[in-house]
Homo-oligomer: A and B are copies of this chain.
Amino acid sequence: MIKHLEDLKQDTIPEFRGGKGEVQITHFLEVDKGEFNSKGRLFAKNVLKPGSSVGLHEHVGDSETYVILSGEGLVDDNGDQKLVKPGDVIITRNGEKHSIENTGTVDLEILALILFD
């Protein structure tokens, strides 16, 4: 089955997880359509404009992987503050916390994958 970009579910969420600005989420797979085989709940591209962020939050019962596609940002990786750039992969396991902020001047594009534990 092929879904085109215009068919993908899109969300715009303000102050996501207590963050600043908003996050635009383009969902590649949808839980409600059974597309995760019950193995996860998010496979998406998240876009943060400069100054926007996803607030610090803990993962409980699942793990999230971010892959930086473009732009740059500041990550809180379970307590460690680190600058990230395209190609970087941030893995936040069950029980760990993370946040990410676009500290650059262009959109920060992130792949996000959440798999259950």
Does A11 touch B at the CB level, under 8 Å?
A: no
- The number of chain A residues with a CB under 8 A from chain B is 34
Does A15 touch B at the CB level, under 8 Å?
A: no
Chain A, residues 47-67, CB within 8 Å of chain B (1/0): the string is 000000000000000010101
A7–B63 Cα distance when bound, in Å, is 20
A73–B112 Cα distance when bound, in Å, is 24
A82–B90 Cα distance when bound, in Å, is 34
Q: For residue A56, give the distance in angstroms from its CB to the closest CB of chain B.
A: 16
The residue that A2 contacts in the complex, of B37, B39, B75, B113, with Cβ under 8 A, is B75
A86–B26 Cα distance when bound, in Å, is 13
